[in-house]
Structure 1
Amino acid sequence: MNIGIIGAGHIGSALAVRLTGLGHKVYIANSRGPETLMDVAQKTGATPVTVEEAARRGTNLIVVTIPLKNIPDLPKDLFAGVPAEVPVIDTCNYYPLLRDGRIPELESGSLTESEWVQQHLGRPVVKVFNNIHAEHIVTRALPAGTPGRIALPVASDDDAAKQKVMALVEELGFDAVDGGNLHASWRYQPGTPAYGEYKPADKLREYLADLGMERTEAQHAEFRANHTRQEQEFLKQMQQSGGAE
């Protein structure tokens, strides 16, 4: 496949390593231009391009994996020439304290993170790879049926795109679990037990079913509080590390 990756950070680079290793042609971009991606190209085997080229050359699949706050800065017509059948993966997470600032729709819970991204991009997205540590995309991949294989939830409002992405997740070495529509993707956002805590496919399906599809006010409050504590703890660790130096 021809795959465009917009974002050359940890997740984007890890996906590039795995996808090129599987024989796919990967085009990778960042906001600073392809000339800044020579090291990434050497490490991953991906071809450095501009953001616009990544969208144009990703004729089978496009991955958007940039900080959430930078989504509105992408070119407004980025996907204008991309055929509707090309899935667009969103890996974004919302970190209001660490990086993104407060976004009203996400604070209130009226939108999930990927619904917010979908609105800005102007086309359906598929939510996946947001709840796995980047390095584990490379190190924890296992053949189908192997004990301990990680399951990853996949959500989208576009069922055809979701099925294509679920097949890719399986190819990458993980069990793909249908996470429902994009409005239900809150179930594996930061602060939930499915964020960074891996489950086998049967346990992940049980967890998603137990939560239900519609997020209650109590669930939103609980998981936002969990996420705030996690961010505060991380900030504290960063401060202590900086002080030690």
Structure 2
Amino acid sequence: MNKNQISDNQILASISQDDYKMLFSHLEKVSLLSGQVIYQQHKVIEYVYFPLHSMISLVHNLSNQTTTEIALIGNEGFVGLSVFLGGNIASGDAIVQIPDSAMRLDVKIFEAEFKRGGSLQKILLLYTQARIIQVSQNVVCKCHHHIDNQFACWLLHAHDCVGSNELALTQKFIAQMLGVRRASVTQVAQKFQENGIIHYSRGHIRILNRLFLELSACECYTFVKSEFKRLLNFS
């Protein structure tokens, strides 16, 4: 496996060639299925995942059986942030929302490479800062911005994660991730479809006009994207 084969993940593509040579024999390409739970709350983490074209949600489960999304991760990042911060127990679930492939790495190999202090360590520390900014901005967004804006932001993040206009997503799922009623998402989706921004059919969303989608989003999307670019030079 050469470095070009994993260049679809921006973190792996950013490490030095020498550091990649130390990791390549340990990286395993795996297929992820829709709905697959790769981390389960309060369970030991065994692998970290670097999505290539898949999309993974980190969610917290509440005692009333509801769930809320904390972060959405695609090819700009990786799943397993807590591992190099000293924790190997998942604080929430990590669920595959859009299936495809990812590179998987055993946590022991990952920890050893991080502690070695090479390019991976530097990139992951910057990524952690960017992810904290994103999670913080999500809190602000959910408290202060209209559901229309949040829906547009979420679709833009999903589009960035997988690099495709075709998204296999249900309104029920999006409502769970945004922490709102399904009826609210249905109303927004209908409005966006009437305005030619998206086409929605059961379990499937097609983005028709990304520019209009960006105009419908609040400032949170461009702010988070600019922070990833500033810190990591990710597009």
Q: Please state which band the TM-score falls in when normalised by the shorter chain.
A: under 0.3
TM-score of the aligned structures, taking structure 2 as reference length? 0.27
Higher strand share: 2
- Structure with the bigger RCO (C-alpha within 8 Å, sep 6+) is 2
